[in-house]
Structure 1
Amino acid sequence: MAEKYPRDRFDDIPDGLQRVGAHRGPRPKGRGWIAVAWAALAVVVLVGAGIFGLSLVSGSISFHGAPNSPSGTPTPTPTPTPTIAATVDPSLSVNVLNGTTTEGLGTKVKDVLTTAGWKVGAVANADQQNLTQTVVYYSDPKNQAAALGVAASLPGATVEASQAFADTGADLTVVIGSDYTG
Structure 2
Amino acid sequence: MAEKFPRDRFDEIPDDLTRVGAHRAPRPRGRAWIAVGWAALATVLLVGAGIFGLSLVNGSISFHGAGASASRTASTTPTPTATPTPTIVPTVNPALTVNVLNGTSREGLAGTVGDVLTKAGWKVGALANADKTDLAETIVYYGDPANQAAALGVAQSLPGATIQQSTAFSDTGADITVVVGANYAG
TM-score (normalised: structure 1): 0.59
Counterpart CA distance in 2 for 1:80 and 1:159 is 22
Rate the CA distance shift 1:78–1:166 in 2: closer, same or farther, 3 A.
farther
Query: What's 1:92 paired with?
Result: 96
Partner of 1:130: 134
Distance 2:54 2:176 in 1: 54
**Equivalent in 66, 82, 85 of residue 81 of structure 1:** 85
User: Which string of whole-angstrom CA distances, capped at 9 and with x for unpartnered residues, describes residues 134-180 of structure 1?
Assistant: 00000001111100000000001001100000110000000000000
- Following TM superposition, the consecutive aligned residue runs of length 4 or more in structure 1 with deviations greater than 6 angstroms are 60-63
Residue 147 (structure 2) aligned to one of 138, 143, 147 = 143
CA RMSD of aligned residues (A): 2.8
1:142 alignment partner, SS class: helix
Q: Report the AA paired with residue 177 of structure 1.
A: G
Distance 1:163 1:116, change over 3 A: same
- Name stretches of at least 5 consecutive residues in structure 1 with no aligned partner: 1-52, 68-75
Matches within 5 A, 1:14-163: 57=56, 59=60, 79-163=83-167
Partner of 1:180: 184
Q: 1:127 to 1:78 in 2, by over 3 A?
A: farther
Q: Whole-Å Cα distance in 1 between the matches of residues 111 and 132 of structure 2?
A: 17
As a proportion of its length, which structure holds more helix?
A: 2
Distance apart, 1:55 and its partner CA: 10
What is the identity, as a one-letter code, of the residue corresponding to 2:174?
Answer: A
